[in-house]
Amino acid sequence: MSDSPSIDFPDLIPAEGLELRRLRAPEHGGDATDVEEIDGVVPPESIRETFYYFTSIPAGGGRLAQFLAEDAPRVTYGVWNAAEPLGSTSLYNWDLAERTCMVGYTWLSLTARGTGANAKVKAALFATLARHGFTAVRLRADVANVRSRAAMRKIGAREAEVEPGPRLYEWDPERRSRSQYFVVEL
């Protein structure tokens, strides 16, 4: 499994009462309990609703361990409120020359949505990236995902381009959409 490109990101990031814990695949030295707790936040009956706007499903039903084991240069954090697991988010698509990356694959439990947890998570990640010399972060949302796009605007992201090509969904081969990109200057 690939990790972040020569950047030593912390294993723990405080986020205004929440905690971001670095997740790694158990076969690569990760804490299996943390991975299972985050994966278990998504009950089987809510996987489709939780990840409706995702092109691939990163958690639920044992998928988080698989997601973490993929050979992708990605850093993933689990989100906790004390002992309660809430979701996860990832850093990926590194451009070290431009000092930018993507923040995405972000999802929160039904109980954490609308609580301000997303804004706290993003603020903590943005501060961490800025400390590591990053100058901007890119985010994306399905053009039909009104809630996610509003959340991005709320954290100060400005709208950038709309991806011209269609997004394809592993869980529904008939579904097509596009991505709206956003940028946050750090």
Instruction: Please state the pTM of the whole predicted model.
Output: 0.94
User: Rounded to an integer, what distance in angstroms lies between the CA atom of residue 80 and that of residue 143?
Assistant: 28
User: Rounded to an integer, what distance in angstroms lies between the CA atom of residue 108 and that of residue 46?
Assistant: 12
Over residues 165-177, the pLDDT tens digits come to: 898 888 888 999 9
User: Rounded to an integer, what distance in angstroms lies between the CA atom of residue 30 and that of residue 97?
Assistant: 29
What CATH number did the domain enclosing 62 receive? 3.40.630.30
Domain assignment present for residue 3? The answer is no
Domain assignment present for residue 88? The answer is yes
Residue tagged 């278990």 (tokens) = 40
Over residues 13-40, the pLDDT tens digits come to: 999 999 999 999 999 899 999 999 999 9
Domain assignment present for residue 6? The answer is no
Domain assignment present for residue 49? The answer is yes
- Exposure string of 68-78, with b = 16+ CB inside 10 Å and e = fewer, is beeeeebbbbb
Over residues 99-149, the pLDDT tens digits come to: 999 999 999 999 999 999 999 999 999 999 999 999 999 999 999 999 999
Structural domain containing residue 67: 12-185
pLDDT score recorded for residue 2: 46
Domain assignment present for residue 153? The answer is yes
Helices (H), the chain: 32-39, 47-50, 63-69, 117-131, 146-154
pLDDT at 52 over 60: yes
pLDDT score recorded for residue 64: 96
Domain assignment present for residue 163? The answer is yes
How many domains does the chain contain in total? Answer: 1
pLDDT at 1 over 50: no
Domain assignment present for residue 7? The answer is no
* Token representation of residue 158: 């400005």
CA dist list (Å): 7 to 60, 73, 78, 83, 94: 28, 11, 19, 28, 11
Mean pLDDT of the chain: 94
Domain assignment present for residue 1? The answer is no
